[in-house]
Chain A
Amino acid sequence: MYPILVLSITGIITLFLGFLKSKKVLLPATLFFVTLAFFANLYDWNKPGLYFNNMLQVNNFTILLSAVILLSAFLIIALTKGFIDDEHAQPAEYFAILQFSLVGAIMMTGFQNLIMLFIGVEILSVSMYVLTGSDKRNLRGNEAALKYFLMGSFATGIMLFGIAMLYGANYSFNIDAARTVVTQMVSTQHSSVYLYVGVTFLLIGLLFKVSAAPFHFWTPDVYEGAPTIFTTFMSTIVKTAGFAAIYRILEVSFSPIYSFWWVMVIIMTVLSLIISNVTAVSQGSFKRMLAFSSVSHAGYMLMAVVGLSNKSDDSIVFYSLAYSLATISAFGVLMAVSKEKLVDGRPDESIAVLNGLSKRNPFLAFILAISMLSLAGIPLTAGFWGKFYVFSDAAFRGHIWLLVVAILMSAVGIYYYFKPIIAAYMRESEGEAISLTPFYKIILGITTFGSILLGLFPDLLRSLM
């Protein structure tokens, strides 16, 4: 609960800080605010409770998810360098919006009421629409923002419709109340079409936000058009928050009617895995490739949802963290390398720009390699254990053929995740050496160290839960 209060206030403070002449104070200030929120979040550890008239729940699971979100946010914000390179940027506004969006994300981890869920989703989404189009002189960015907004509104509409139907079935927005109704319904064998329509539409709306197929079409275009730093934000924090919400609503309210929704979720899982992994193979742009990779990871995380075992919550936290760390590293490397070479006045974001990176900056090449290995799920990286846990969740319910698809698609994944590594280590170098600021190096070092540490000692995190 505390991080919501903290970030709401500090977001406004950040806006006012924008009036200062010097923009340099903004980055340290924002980092401080996020750190503050992070510790405020931990303050509630082992003190579960309901807040704001039973609108929001806090327990250790929501605290861990919020911690993952805030940690990712800290790392991403640190990689912005305060936007001092770009004279057209409006750092105060960006940072304020980022903090507000975090409020939305944290609401999504602990909502106790569907209205709270809706508000959280909307705060997060609207922030993202704005940030996608933040580079106002970039046509592609504008297009992406508009596209995102149009499709996002469509999905929001569907979700709201679903919530309305659920209200019709349950006479309440409270998710515990929903569970009571659902349990009763199962025991009396009485079925309500309102409820089924509501669950379906609510899920569709949420699955759109985490870009699961076939509602993923916006992802590659929006990821590519948005400034890379905000793409990073979208692909990590939005995903974590989205899965937190999906898992929460299904676990708390609708686990008694598992037999109703598993078919739909499993179909979308399989579609996400196949379409994303296969399409990623033929992408020449690193950013687009990572966009498809993000869709595929949505598929893997859905496996934990499909499994809905007693370990699924652990798996989702672990997977989110592993995936976020690796993704932040990958985008961090992309940002550092792509600005070295311009194509039509824009940073070159193709895979080819990584050619010979091991000669130009061995450190970056190493970071890239570890992040790709983690995303591909190679042992000794966090990604391996993440995959292992979600696979075991799916196995818990006996979905063997889903596992077969997932493993085949992991193999396809290895193919394209190795492309950047090959480019970095085996292709001839073209450009000159790349220099990095020490701070940038430290942040990338932390993400990579985290990936390896969790790869060696997965129980470090699991033992918390």
Chain B
Amino acid sequence: MSIITLIPLFPLIGFLINGLGFRKIPTSLAGPIGVGASLLSFIGTVIAYTQLTETNQPILINVFDWITVGSLQINFSFQIDQLSIIMLFVITGVGTLIHMYSMGYMHDDEGYGKFMAFLNLFLFSMLLLVMGSNYIVMFIGWEGVGLCSYLLIGFWNKNTEYGNAARKAFIMNRIGDLGFLIGIFLIILNFGSVEYTEVFEKAKGLTVGDSTIIAITGFLFIGAMGKSAQIPLYTWLPDAMAGPTPVSALIHAATMVTSGIYMIIRSNILYTLAPETLEFVAWIGVATAVFAATIGIFQNDIKKVLAYSTVSQLGYMFMGLGVSAYTSGFFHVITHAFFKALLFLAAGSVIHAMSGEQDIRRMGGLWSKIKITAITFLIGTIAISGVFPLAGFFSKDEILAHVYEHNKLMWVLALIGSMMTAFYMFRLFFLTFTGSFRGTHEQEHHLHESPASMTIPLMVLAVFSFVGGFIGMPEVFHAPHLLADFLNPIYEGSKAVNPEFGAHPVEHSTEWMLMGISLGAALIAIFIAYTRFGGSKNVPVEDSEITGVQKVIYNKYYIDEVYWAIFVNPVKSLSNFFVNVFEPKGFDAIVRGVGNMVNSFSNLTRRLQAGGTGFYLFAMVIGITIILGINLGYQVLETIKAFVGIK
């Protein structure tokens, strides 16, 4: 068995051990099993990386032939190439850190073993998603991560609200999944295969703007909208913060929500063939980025702010994809995984210290109390705000540069969104860590730094948030863009169909200017945040006192309520109609009628089976006679005719 097959197998085994035996396995063992499985996967990834770099050719591994239907052959197989190996590093690397963190964070929870099992299951599904060599294996992973997300959001299922949040996430994702499925069906219909290599090879023969490709990419993008929380299917992600914080970090920030982006980059040749879809993707990205950022400004729950910032950052990634800058979008996926996981874990550490409090109006002055958390959180904040030289600066700036070349209006909007990001992130930082403590006396008494199993991942992630951006230096720095060089082979198809693909369009002077503008904008936003919230001068007012436009935004533009009124309520009344009227009088009657008919018919045929051998033999003889009549009647007739002499 290849080492590559083992990568997803370890978490699966970990899940089975912890999942089947979570009542029996002592908590002291459950944690190491979970972390161990994740760590082994990481080691497997490192080995796979060395194998890949030996040849630089994609490694295809057929685990087994899965389904053969007609001419369609679906294999359970893996493909390791430049794209999937980076995803593997992010998933297993960040995943291992978060598993480790969970050992500290969840240790006193009664469902500790179960939590570890679910995390492992998630890891397994996510690995299938990125390792699969065809759309079906990707779909299994896609559904698997959706399921795990549901299980983990509703992990504390005794709270009804959390359960509802879990269901909301699941249903919103299902809507997207339907689009994704239709996309896959269209691929099967048009290409007769689901294997990436075959589909992309055949796609090379098509022309840009082909209408089937537009349909396929459009439907696939609907799937991405659901999974990666884009307008209009984003509303589940903020609610998903009901889950334990490590879950928010792992699933709802670093890995799962980026799978939509992974899928599009994986299918980059199809998207390059469909510029119309790309334009659509870009605008959805811009809208989401700005819209979510405005909501983020007024949120007072530490995790909600981070959730909206995630939605907003995902918007930037799609923006990058939409302007054909696939690498830039993917660059942002990587850096975002570092700093967003860091921010969430640090937020978890804050919540841990605050005995479960999440409202930043009750915090303040935590800097000196929990120093490691505070410093790492600050690094994350600077990184996401896009300040040189931290990771977020490089990736975001690269996207903005490409957007500027593509469409100036889009660039202005993106820049505004970027300013808002810096603003609300520093607002969050100042309110949480500066000024004086605003919580209860008891909370203050309990304030403490988290255990080492939690702070070590924070420090590791902080380092990566600092240096992670150096893998993609801008051209003007005259340093190699390591990521772009590494990823080059996966765009081979896109280059074949569009010769202009990947040419670097930005002038050096323009690039300097853009970098300066975005850095300046971020610094201005930070300064405004400092003047308003530095030292917690202005603490946001209580919920009941919020008025005007701010109230509308604070309540997330009442989008949930709008969805409820437009979609949920009509469906509910339709469903009521079916339950009360259609079902009892329509279907039920038909179903029962058919049932009764079969039953009475059955009573008739039962009588045939009376038990007498004589009758059985008689029936057989009749049967034989009839069959002979059918088979040979014609011949017999002919023979008789010939015998009597009729022609």
Contact = CB atoms under 8 A, between A and B. Distances in A.
Interface of A: 147, 150-151, 154-155, 158, 191, 193, 196-197, 200, 204, 208, 214-215, 217-218, 220-221, 260-261, 263-264, 267-268, 275, 278-283, 392, 412, 415, 457-460, 462-463
A261 B627 CA distance: 10
Given A459-B66, A463-B65, A220 B609 contact: yes
Contacts of A200: 627-628, 631-632
B619 A217 contact: yes
A158 B631 contact: no
B594 to A, nearest CB: 9
Interface stretch (B284-292, B355-363, B610-618): B610-618
Interface string B592-630: 000100110111011011010101110110111001101
Given A278-B605, A462-B68, A154 B624 contact: no
Contact of B598 (A217, A278, A463): A278
A264 B620 contact: no
Contacts of B160: none
Contacts of B627: 200, 204, 264, 267-268
B602 A278 contact: yes
Nearest to B632: A196
Interface of B: 64-68, 70, 595, 598-599, 601-603, 605-606, 608-609, 611, 613, 615-617, 619-620, 622-624, 627-628, 630-632, 635, 639
Contacts of B631: 196, 200, 260-261, 263-264
Residue of B68, B602, B624, B628 with highest tally of chain A CB at under 10 A: B602
Contacts of B619: 214, 217
B632 A459 contact: no
A459 B68 contact: yes
A280 B628 CA distance: 29
Nearest to B76: A457
A211 to B, nearest CB: 12
A215 B620 contact: yes
A157 to B, nearest CB: 11
B609 A457 contact: no
Contacts of A457: 64, 66
Contacts of B66: 457, 459
B143 to A, nearest CB: 14
Given A282-B599, A282-B603, A151 B632 contact: no
Nearest to B68: A459
Contacts of B609: 217, 220-221, 279
A459 B599 contact: no
B630 A263 contact: yes
Given A193-B639, A282-B606, A412-B598, 10 more contacts: A147-B616, A196-B635, A197-B632, A200-B627, A214-B619, A221-B611, A263-B630, A415-B595, A459-B65, A463-B65
11 contacts: A151-B616, A151-B620, A193-B632, A215-B623, A217-B615, A261-B631, A264-B631, A279-B609, A415-B598, A457-B66, A459-B65
Nearest to A201: B624
B363 to A, nearest CB: 50
A185 B65 CA distance: 43
Contacts of B617: 150-151, 154
A150 B613 contact: yes
Contact of A278 (B65, B70, B601): B601
Q: Top 5 nearest A-B pairs by Cβ distance?
A: A217-B616, A214-B623, A282-B602, A281-B602, A459-B65
A458 to B, nearest CB: 7
Contacts of B616: 147, 151, 217-218
A282 B603 CA distance: 7
Nearest to B624: A204
Contacts of A280: 602
Given A217-B620, A278-B602, A282-B606, A460 B632 contact: no
Nearest to B611: A221
A279 B605 contact: yes
A221 to B, nearest CB: 6
A49 B49 CA distance: 49
The winner among A151, A155, A279, A415 for most chain B CB atoms within 10 A is A279
**Listed residue (B603, B606, B632, B635) with the most chain A CB atoms within 10 angstroms of its CB:** B606
B613 A147 contact: yes
Given A151-B616, A220-B609, A459-B66, A193 B635 contact: yes
A278 B616 CA distance: 18
Contacts of A204: 624, 627
A50 B631 CA distance: 33
Contacts of A263: 630-631
Contact of B67 (A279, A415, A458): A458
Contacts of A278: 598, 601-602, 605
Contacts of A267: 627, 630
B139 to A, nearest CB: 16
A271 B601 CA distance: 14
Given A217-B619, A459-B66, A279 B632 contact: no
Contacts of B611: 221
A281 B604 CA distance: 11
A429 B601 CA distance: 31
A151 B630 contact: no
Contacts of B599: 281-282
A147 B610 CA distance: 13
B642 to A, nearest CB: 12
Contacts of B624: 158, 204
Q: Which of A147, A217, A218, A267 has the most chain B CB within a 10 Å cutoff?
A: A217
A151 B598 contact: no
A343 to B, nearest CB: 19
Contacts of A221: 609, 611
B583 to A, nearest CB: 19
A279 B613 contact: no
Contacts of A217: 608-609, 615-616, 619-620
A178 to B, nearest CB: 17
Nearest to A263: B630
A191 B602 CA distance: 42
Contacts of B606: 279, 282-283
A343 B61 CA distance: 59
A460 B67 CA distance: 9
A125 B416 CA distance: 86
Nearest to A268: B627
B404 to A, nearest CB: 51
A145 to B, nearest CB: 12
Nearest to A261: B631
B635 A279 contact: no
A108 to B, nearest CB: 21
Contacts of B632: 193, 196-197, 200
Contacts of A147: 613, 616
Nearest to A158: B624
Contacts of B603: 282
Nearest to A280: B602
A151 B612 CA distance: 11
Contact of A151 (B70, B608, B613): B613
A463 B74 CA distance: 13
A275 B635 contact: no
A204 B631 CA distance: 12
A260 B632 CA distance: 9
B251 to A, nearest CB: 26
B582 to A, nearest CB: 21
Contacts of A412: 598
B64 A460 contact: yes
Nearest to A460: B64
A5 to B, nearest CB: 35
A281 B605 CA distance: 10
A16 B620 CA distance: 41
Given A196-B631, A279-B609, A154 B598 contact: no
A459 B64 contact: yes
B598 A281 contact: yes
A309 B631 CA distance: 22
A412 to B, nearest CB: 6
